[in-house]
Amino acid sequence: MTEGPTRMILLVEDDPDHELLTIRALKKSNIANDVRVARDGEEAIHLLFGPRPIKPQVILLDLKLPKVEGLEVLRRIRESPETRMLPVVVLTSSDEERDLVRSYQIGVNSYIRKPVNFTDFAEATRQLGMYWLVLNECPPQN
């Protein structure tokens, strides 16, 4: 059984400033979806696979996370029949090509490098929200 609204966003982000900027940019873009935040990879896994799993419409996943790395979180999502088809967008400040390549090898839907300044970050978040939450059609959830 899942809890919460089906159009929820799961933001997996350990940097409090990036968390606030992402939520602020979504709200500024009139994207009113509920945002659940996991501040490390272990918490994300618990939210997705624990006793009361959530089923977000999209997961915004940072890669450089404490406890469990983002790539491992992505691997777990793709291995499970319950979460395999959830859209996952890597939203990271990593500029390492191996992170990009590995993310796609594991099955990420999109890979976005976080822009440095807030205006660019807000615009990237707006476009991301519009696409994944308004335009994109997700498969039905069981």
Over the chain (142 residues), the average pLDDT of each successive run of 10 is 61 93 83 90 98 94 96 98 94 90 96 84 83 78 61
CA distances from 44 to 37, 40, 66 (A): 8, 6, 11
Domain 9-135 bears CATH identifier 3.40.50.1980: no
Map out the domains of the chain as residue ranges.
9-135
Pinpoint the alpha helices (H) of 80-141: 97-106, 118-129
Global pTM reads 0.89
